[in-house]
């Protein structure tokens, strides 16, 4: 039976190129040597089948190459797309994402964030369930943290890509109100344990300003649960919906279809993140576009810069754009 091939060593690469092991190490990392030397070393390493030992590299550099990505809920299709984009962008920067799901639970979020820190990730990207938790201040003292969506109250983050929820909520409620919908069910994944999320706070203030009758209802992002929450709202007489995730809005479509109610003729519905599926519905879902590609680029640039000691702009405010399709008729 053939024996597995022994891993080529950095000394063998050094011997093949006539360089010292230190020079080979620098060349493999693209540091402190000429481009010609880098190319020569990498070519020799490929011919010998040399691969850097990740454990040894981590011990030598004090870095693991791993970035924790803690998602608020991966039942939300938009957050799934965000995780895919960040994972790929990190790989393009020679990092790897360790992706975990807080499942919308603040206690689970804190536990998982602590576990990622204890596993020595180089940094953490989080779309927080509970941005107001005092836990984040101590977390940011122990490793670089980049927040997406909401700022972490009282915490010194390495970077923030925050959503201009005030404008996003205003665009959505004004769009519904301008079309004659005065009684609106707001479906949000926010639980009673996190009542101070900025978007949820602003929706109540903005509804009062616009003279709208608002009922805020908790609705998970999973399709079956969102459909159940929407069906209860329909049974209570609601016919206009503003959903804080397109995934929740899909539940309104399903519940309306189950009751034989037409969108937009009998039910109006708006989403909030412009998932690609939203344009394929019939009618297409009117929603708010936050530029997910721009969010990915900004968050990855911030986290890589923080790890490498080259910090970038610390705060970016992401502006919303109304994506009007056909799901909001006249009230």
Q: Given CATH 3.40.50.2300, say whether it is the number of domain 165-289.
A: yes
Within 29-164, where are the H helices?
35-48, 54-61, 77-92, 106-118, 135-142
- The domain ranges of the chain are 10-52, 66-164+292-320, 165-289
For the segment 193-215, the average pLDDT, to the nearest whole number, is 83
Q: Which CATH superfamily is domain 66-164+292-320 in?
A: Response regulator (3.40.50.2300)
316 sits in which H/E element: strand 315-318
Provide the mean pLDDT of the chain: 89
DSSP state of 279: G
pTM of the entire structure? Answer: 0.79
278: which residues sit within 8 A by CB, 6+ positions away? Answer: 246, 249, 271, 284, 285, 287, 323, 325
Peptide bond into 300 cis (omega under 30): no
Give the model's pLDDT for residue 37: 86
Looking at mean pLDDT, say which of 6-20, 56-70, 84-98 comes out highest.
84-98
Task: Determine what percent of the chain is predicted with pLDDT higher than 70.
Answer: 91
End-to-end CA distance of the chain: 76
**Given this chain, do its domains 66-164+292-320 and 165-289 carry the same CATH topology?**
yes
Q: What is the mean pLDDT of residues 138-167?
A: 93
pLDDT reported for residue 10: 81
Q: Is it the case that residue 51 has pLDDT exceeding 80?
A: no
Decide if pLDDT at 13 tops 80.
yes
Q: What is the mean pLDDT of residues 1-7?
A: 53
Copy the structure tokens of residue 115: 């576990």
């Amino acid at each position: 039976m053939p024996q597995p091939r022994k891993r080529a060593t950095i000394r063998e690469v050094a011997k093949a190129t006539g360089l010292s092991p230190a020079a080979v190490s620098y060349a493999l990392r693209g540091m402190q040597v000429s481009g010609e030397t880098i190319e020569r070393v990498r070519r020799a390493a490929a011919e010998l089948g040399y691969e850097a030992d990740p454990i040894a590299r981590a011990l030598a550099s004090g870095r693991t190459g791993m970035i924790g990505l803690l998602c608020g809920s991966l039942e939300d299709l938009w957050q799934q797309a965000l995780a895919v984009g960040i994972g790929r962008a990190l790989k393009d920067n020679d990092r790897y994402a360790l992706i975990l799901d807080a499942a919308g639970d603040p206690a689970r979020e804190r536990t998982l964030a602590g576990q990622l820190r204890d596993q020595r990730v180089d940094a953490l990207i989080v779309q927080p369930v509970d941005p107001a938790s005092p836990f984040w201040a101590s977390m940011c003292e122990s490793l670089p943290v980049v927040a997406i969506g909401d700022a972490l109250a009282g915490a010194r983050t390495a970077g923030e890509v925050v959503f201009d929820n005030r404008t996003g909520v205003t665009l959505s409620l004004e769009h519904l109100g301008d079309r004659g919908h005065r009684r609106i069910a707001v479906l949000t994944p926010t639980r009673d344990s996190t009542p101070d999320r900025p978007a949820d706070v602003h929706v109540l203030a903005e509804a009062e300003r616009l003279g709208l009758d608002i009922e805020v209802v908790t609705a998970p992002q999973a399709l079956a649960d969102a459909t159940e929450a929407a069906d209860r709202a329909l049974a209570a007489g609601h016919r206009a919906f503003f959903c804080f995730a397109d995934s929740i809005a899909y539940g309104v479509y399903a519940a309306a279809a189950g009751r034989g109610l037409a969108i937009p003729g009998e039910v109006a519905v708006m989403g909030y993140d412009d998932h690609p599926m939203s344009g394929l519905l019939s009618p297409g879902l009117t929603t708010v576009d936050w530029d997910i590609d721009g969010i990915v680029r900004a968050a990855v640039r911030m986290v890589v810069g923080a790890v490498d000691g080259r910090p970038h702009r610390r705060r970016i405010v992401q502006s919303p754009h109304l994506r009007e399709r056909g799901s909001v008729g006249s009230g």
